[in-house]
C-alpha cells in the first residue's frame, strides 16, 4: 500500500507544476521589465530568467504578445478577487483599494508592470486593461462614498503604486504608511454615513 501511495503522489505532482511554472515565467517577465526595460523583454531573456528552456516557455506562451496578455490576465484576476473580497458595506471597496497600496508585491505593483508591458509590446492589450480599469472605477464609485473623494483617493493610490514600483522618488515605508492612513481618514466619515 505504501508503494501505491508514493506512486499516487508522483502522479499528482505534475498537475501542480504547470501553474507554478507559468507564474515563474510571469515573474521573470516582470523582473526583466523592471530591471532591464521593455526592449529587453524577449522570449529568450524570459526563458533564461525563469531558468527554463524556450520550449518550456512556448508550452505556456506561444509568443511575446501572449506573455504580455498573461501578465495582464494575472493582474486583472488578482485585482478582481481583491475587490470582490471587499464586501458590500459603504466604503469597503475604496478601503480595500487603499490598503492594496501598502503591498509592494501585490496586485497593484503587478498592474503597473502589466501596463508597461502593454504600452511597450501590445497596444490591443492596453485596451483590455483600460476596460478593466473602467469597471473597477465604476465599482469604486458605487461604494457609497462621494465621487470627488473616490477620485482623489484612487489617483493618490495609483500614484503610490507607480512611484513605488518604478522607484520614481519612491516614498519611504513610513511615508507610504502615513499617506495610506491619511487616505483612510478621508474615507472614514463617509463609511458610517456621517457625511453624505
149 pLDDT band, cuts 50/70/90, is very high
pLDDT score at 74: 85
Q: What is the mean pLDDT of residues 178-194?
A: 87
Q: Would you say residue 12 has pLDDT above 80?
A: no
C-alpha cell at 173: 515605508
Q: Would you say residue 196 has pLDDT above 60?
A: no
Question: Of 134 and 3, which is predicted with more confidence?
Answer: 134
Q: Would you say residue 176 has pLDDT above 60?
A: yes
Q: Classify each residue of 115-150 as buried b or exposed e, where b means 16 or more C-beta atoms within 10 Å of its C-beta.
A: bbbbeebbeebbeebeebbeebeebbbebbbeeebb
C-alpha cell at 13: 505532482
Q: What is the mean pLDDT of residues 162-178?
A: 86
Q: Would you say residue 3 has pLDDT above 50?
A: no
pLDDT score at 17: 46
- Helix H or strand E segment including 146: none
Segments making up each domain of the chain, as ranges = 19-62, 66-191
pLDDT score at 110: 62
The answer to whether 78 and 114 are in contact (CB under 8 A) is no
Interval 52-107: pLDDT, tens: 999 999 999 999 889 988 888 888 888 888 888 888 888 899 998 898 876 655 55
> 69: closest CA among 137, 135, 124?
124
Neighbour-count burial of 24, counting CB atoms closer than 10 A to its CB (0-12 exposed, 13-18 middle, 19+ buried): middle
pLDDT score at 106: 58
Q: Would you say residue 123 has pLDDT above 90?
A: no
Interval 30-41: pLDDT, tens: 888 888 878 888
Distances (CA, A) of 63 to 98, 116, 121, 125: 35, 17, 11, 14
Q: Which fold has domain 19-62?
A: Arc Repressor Mutant, subunit A (1.10.10)
45 pLDDT band, cuts 50/70/90, is very high
Question: Of 99 and 147, which is predicted with more confidence?
Answer: 147
Amino acid at each position: 500500500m505504501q508503494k501505491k501511495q508514493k506512486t499516487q503522489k508522483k502522479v499528482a505532482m505534475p498537475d501542480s507544476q504547470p501553474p507554478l511554472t507559468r507564474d515563474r515565467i510571469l515573474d521573470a517577465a516582470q523582473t526583466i521589465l523592471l530591471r532591464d526595460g521593455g526592449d529587453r523583454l524577449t522570449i529568450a531573456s524570459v526563458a533564461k530568467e525563469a531558468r527554463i528552456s524556450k520550449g518550456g516557455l512556448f508550452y505556456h506562451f506561444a509568443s511575446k504578445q501572449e506573455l504580455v496578455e498573461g501578465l495582464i490576465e494575472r493582474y486583472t484576476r488578482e485585482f478582481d478577487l481583491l475587490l470582490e473580497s471587499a464586501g458590500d458595506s459603504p466604503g469597503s471597496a475604496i478601503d480595500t483599494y487603499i490598503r492594496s497600496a501598502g503591498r509592494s508585491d501585490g496586485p497593484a505593483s503587478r498592474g503597473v508592470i502589466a501596463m508597461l508591458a502593454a504600452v511597450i509590446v501590445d497596444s490591443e492589450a492596453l485596451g483590455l486593461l483600460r476596460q478593466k480599469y473602467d469597471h473597477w472605477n465604476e465599482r469604486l464609485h458605487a461604494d457609497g462614498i462621494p465621487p470627488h473623494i473616490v477620485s482623489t483617493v484612487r489617483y493618490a493610490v495609483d500614484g503610490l503604486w507607480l512611484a513605488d514600483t518604478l522607484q520614481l522618488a519612491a516614498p519611504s515605508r513610513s511615508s507610504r504608511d502615513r499617506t495610506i492612513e491619511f487616505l483612510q481618514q478621508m474615507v472614514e466619515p463617509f463609511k458610517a454615513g456621517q457625511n453624505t
